[in-house]
Amino acid sequence: MIETKLGEFEEVILLLTGILGEEAYAFRIAEEFESQTGRSVSIGAVHSTLTRLEEKGFLKSEMGKSTAERGGRRKRIYTITAYGKKTLTAARDFKQALWNQFPGFAIRMDGIIGFTG
């Protein structure tokens, strides 16, 4: 059975894939991840997640055209499937629903800042 829930990291990767569009291949996604989140990640970790997301049906991929750079080697370009988009939306809506039920957001923020400060 394939796990269909979306982890935090998976969600971000999925979103980045969507953002990058034609440029969505493992290396670019990893670079984008680092620049957007400030967290470092290995290409292997991203690649592994991409493979998993493809297995779950959120992504599909095909090899791109060969280019002169990177020794003429082709890239594997990932694109989001309709199912992937649906899952992303569902995840966002779910969180939004949770946020709506959360009353003391502003107060809690103060509390946290006060606590850590």
Of 1-9, 11-19, 38-46, 99-107: span binding other proteins (CB under 8 A): 38-46
Number of residues written out for the chain: 117
Nearer to other proteins, 63 or 90 (CB): 63
Give min distance, CB of 75 to other proteins, in A: 6
> DSSP string spanning 6-70?
--HHHHHHHHHHHHHGGG-SHHHHHHHHHHHH-----HHHHHHHHHHHHHHTSEEEEE----SSG
Query: Residue 33 CB, nearest distance to other proteins (Å)?
Result: 13
Q: Is 85 in the site for other proteins (CB under 8 A)?
A: no
Tell me if 70 contacts other proteins by CB under 8 A.
yes
The span from the CA of 40 to the CA of 62, in Å, is 26
Nearer to other proteins, 52 or 60 (CB): 52
